[in-house]
Every structure is written in C-alpha cells, then in structure tokens.
C-alpha cells in the first residue's frame, strides 16, 4: 500500500516544500493525486535560465517565462510563502514582472527572499570585469517586511533602510558595489545578522575592522570580490565559519575563540615565491585555531617554499585538499600532514581543470625538494604522526588513477594503523589517462593491496 495515500494534502504540500523547485515539479508524474501538489509549494523559484537559453531566441523564451510567472502568481492558493527566489536578467525591460513577484511574496508573508538580476553571460572568473551597472532598485515595501534572509544580486539598495530589518539573520549580496562605508552601515543596522556573503562585489576599499558592539556574525563568505587594496581586516567576536576565494590579501581577524570551518582559495594568484609562502603561513596562523580547513592547489604548491612556514602545529581534525594531484602539489600534501598532528578525516577534491603550474619545477625549492615526486609516497619515505596515530577516514573524490593518487593510497594503506574507512569516488569524466570504467577497475584493485588494518572498510563509488 502506498503510505502517501493516507496523508492529508497539507502533509504532501509540506513534503514538496522541502524539495528544490524543479524536483517538486517532477513529483507531478508520480500519480494523479500528486499532479498539482507541487503548485502549492511554499518554496518557490522562478528562474528565467530554465526557460531562456543564452544561445537561443531569448526574447521568445523570456516571454514564455513571464507568462509562466504571471499565471503561477494568479493561480496560487496557499495563504503563505516561506521562500521566493526570482532570477530574471534585464529587469528594467519588464519591471512589472518583478514588482508583481515581490508584491506576491510580501503578501504571502515571505521569510526568505532572493532577487537575482545578473546576466548569465557575465564572466564569473575575471576579477577585472565584474563591475556591471545595476538597473533595478529594491522597492521600499521590502524594507518594512520582517525577513529572515535576503539575497540581492545586481540590485540597488538603500543601506540606511536596513535598520528596519530587525529579524534579518542572513544577507547575501552579489554583483554590487560595496564600499567600506556601505558594509559598515549594513552590519551596524542589522543587529541580528549571523551570516554575510559577498560575491563578485567590487570597489571594496579594504576589508575593515568593524566595531558595532557585540556583532553576532557567525559566517562570513567573500567570493571573488575586487579589492582596492590587499588588506583584509575584520572584527567578529562570534565568527565560526570563514570562506574566502580570490586574490591573496594580508589577513587580520579579530574574534573570540576558535573557528569551526575555514575555506581558503587563492586560485586567481599566478606567482609563488618565498615571500608569498611566508604570507600564506601568517594567514594560516591568523585563522588558527580551527576544527576544519580547506585549502587550494595554490597553497599546496607555494606554502613549502618559505622558510618561516606555519608558526605552530594546527589542531584541525578535518582537512580538505582541492588538488589535481600534480607533482608540484605533493610536497604541499606532506607539508600539511606534518603540521596537522591531530588529523582524523582527510578529503581530496581532485579537479583536473584547476590551475596547477605556478613556476617551473626546476625552480621549485621546497624543504624536501631532494625527494623526487615519483618517490614521495614510497613505503620507506617519512611517516607522519597523524597518519599512524589519529587518521581514521580518507575520501578521494574525482579519482583518475594517476600515479600520485595510487602512490598515496598505497602509502596510506601501509602506514594507516587506525584507518577505519577509505572512500574512493571515481571521476565521471574521461581524460587522456582513461575513462570512468578504467578508473573504477584500478580503484577495485586497491582491495587487494597490502594494508596494516585487515578489516579496513573500502568503499568505491
């Protein structure tokens, strides 16, 4: 018997409201009873990009999207809306569509509002080309609404009106100009703010030291923003999560206690030397102590070059490496294993398309450069205390059966005395090295390799 048959419609609406909007729409094919339930979802997402493709007749498809939104708003029967997201480029050409959507959301007492007016053709990886004019102003009616989260992308706003957002806990701003005074006023006016995300913002003077009493901010995300000067200073006593992606600035974080999660990505940097390595070491010291750390390929290649390095061992228990497992990164992997004596979980996110070449290998002067990359993971090479005494779980996502990947797994199986689980997630993309079928075949052979822990759980996905 289908247990859903005995559920009242209100329960079915609650179920689809927890699903992403596109997934909720797919429930319409489950049965006759489910056919129209998704249209009552309290989690609504109007995304022009699902209708209008960049390389197609966009104006015709945009009109189809506009008609869909208009009919949805007219026919919606639920009294409340929990979350509404509108993604609609060039809103100045059809302002009525945006105004009606916002009015519909406010009338439904929406708690989470997201307005994205960016263009899908904008370059997301070029920091020199992120300044685009914003041609839509956030209506005054929004400022007086008790929102809990607000996302604005390529949308003008009046930061002085943010003082009316007494319940606002999350703000995400994208594709907008963010001067120091604007961000300071935003934080000062939103006393309950716990999460701030800035993506593709520009003309940021320098990240600043904010002193607005007991700032409640717990999560800070700065993603590919353009700074006027390379200095990043921020005071957040309760900060627990920091995610930064962009150029390498000088960091100064003022907080109380340690961080739960730090993610650092400097993929836009192209040069590495001892001075840059020392700056990276100072940065890591600045965010220490922390529980979990994610680092990029740039850090793996450059950190071992310097003389100063990380000031003291890291107390992290989880380390994530965004890597290609290139030869130039192997010293960096060992560098972190050496400096993380309490490591329990190690994750690899292997991406063959990431930037790997910073300098020529002949110029690479890491502390252990006398060890050639092909011999880095020999069984008789140096052992690290975390591998033999604390490491329990390893995950390799994007496995492509490269010599360095295989060499590290052999090393791990030989020295990992407390290992409980090894998860290998095979890459789904073919390359010059082979295809997913070949990767899986090589991964399966790891089950036959000699290991220190006979009952080690090996999972291959």
**Please, which pLDDT band fits residue 353 given cuts at 50, 70 and 90?**
low
* Residue-level pLDDT at 356: 52
pTM comes to 0.87
What are the pLDDT digits (tens) for 53-73? 655 567 788 888 999 999 989
Q: Where are the beta strands (DSSP E) in 303-380?
A: 318-323, 345-350
Q: For residues 251 and 257, give the distance between their C-alpha atoms in angstroms, rounded to a whole number.
A: 17
What are the pLDDT digits (tens) for 86-96? 999 999 999 99
Q: Where are the beta strands (DSSP E) in 29-121?
A: 43-47, 83-87, 112-116
| pLDDT(361) > 80 | no
What are the pLDDT digits (tens) for 403-415? 999 999 999 999 9
Tokens found for residue 351: 């991406």
What are the pLDDT digits (tens) for 283-293? 999 899 999 99
Q: What is the mean pLDDT of the chain?
A: 85
Most confident range, picked from 176-185, 271-280, 452-461: 452-461
* Residue-level pLDDT at 202: 87
Q: For residues 352 and 332, give the distance between their C-alpha atoms in angstroms, rounded to a whole number.
A: 17
Given a contact cutoff of 8 angstroms between Cβ atoms, the answer to whether 261 and 291 are in contact is yes
User: Any idea where the domains of the chain sit in the sequence?
Assistant: 7-41
| pLDDT(19) > 60 | yes
| pLDDT(381) > 90 | no
* Residue-level pLDDT at 256: 77
* Residue-level pLDDT at 412: 93
* Residue-level pLDDT at 378: 77
Most confident range, picked from 25-39, 344-358, 441-455: 441-455
Higher local confidence (pLDDT), 29 or 306: 306
């Amino acid at each position: 018997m289908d247990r859903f048959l005995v559920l009242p419609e209100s329960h079915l609406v609650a179920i689809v409201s927890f699903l992403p909007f596109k997934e909720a729409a797919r429930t319409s094919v489950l049965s006759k009873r489910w056919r129209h339930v998704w249209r009552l979802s309290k989690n609504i997402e109007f995304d022009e990009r699902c209708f209008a493709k960049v390389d197609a007749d966009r104006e015709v498809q945009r009109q189809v999207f506009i008609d869909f939104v208009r009919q949805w708003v007219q026919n919606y029967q639920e009294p409340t809306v929990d979350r509404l997201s509108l993604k609609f480029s060039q809103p100045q050409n059809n302002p009525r569509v945006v105004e009606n959507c916002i009015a519909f959301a406010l009338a439904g007492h929406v708690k989470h509002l997201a307005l994205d007016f960016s263009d899908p053709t904008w370059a997301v990886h070029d920091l020199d080309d992120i300044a685009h004019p914003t041609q839509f102003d956030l209506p005054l009616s929004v400022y007086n609404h008790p929102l809990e989260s607000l996302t604005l992308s390529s949308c003008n706003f009046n930061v002085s009106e943010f003082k009316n957002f007494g319940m606002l806990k999350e703000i995400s701003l994208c594709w907008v100009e963010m001067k120091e005074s604007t961000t300071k006023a935003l934080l000062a006016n939103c006393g309950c703010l716990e999460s701030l995300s800035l993506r593709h913002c520009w003309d940021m003077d320098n990240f600043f030291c904010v002193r607005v009493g007991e700032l409640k901010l717990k999560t800070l995300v700065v993603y590919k923003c353009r700074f006027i000067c390379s200095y990043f200073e921020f005071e957040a006593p309760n900060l627990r999560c920091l995610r930064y992606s962009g150029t390498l600035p000088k960091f100064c974080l003022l907080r109380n206690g340690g961080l739960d999660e730090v993610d650092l990505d400097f993929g836009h940097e192209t040069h590495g030397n001892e001075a840059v390595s020392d700056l990276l070491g100072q940065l890591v010291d600045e965010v220490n102590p922390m529980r979990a750390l994610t680092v990029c390929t740039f850090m793996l290649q450059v950190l071992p070059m310097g003389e100063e390095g990380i000031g003291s061992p890291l107390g992290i228990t989880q380390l994530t490496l965004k890597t290609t497992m290139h030869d130039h990164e192997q010293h960096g992997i060992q560098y972190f294993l050496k400096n993380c004596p309490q490591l329990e979980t190690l994750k690899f996110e292997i991406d063959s398309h990431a930037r790997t070449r910073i300098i020529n290998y002949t110029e690479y002067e890491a502390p252990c450069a006398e060890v050639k990359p092909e011999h880095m993971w020999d069984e008789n090479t140096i052992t690290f205390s975390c591998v033999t005494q604390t490491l329990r779980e390893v995950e390799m996502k994007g496995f492509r059966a490269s010599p360095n990947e295989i060499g590290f797994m052999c090393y791990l199986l030989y020295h990992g005395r407390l290992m409980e689980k090894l998860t290998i997630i095979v890459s789904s993309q073919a390359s010059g090295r082979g295809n997913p079928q070949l990767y899986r075949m090589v991964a399966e052979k790891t089950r036959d390799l000699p290991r220190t822990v006979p009952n080690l759980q090996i999972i291959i996905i």
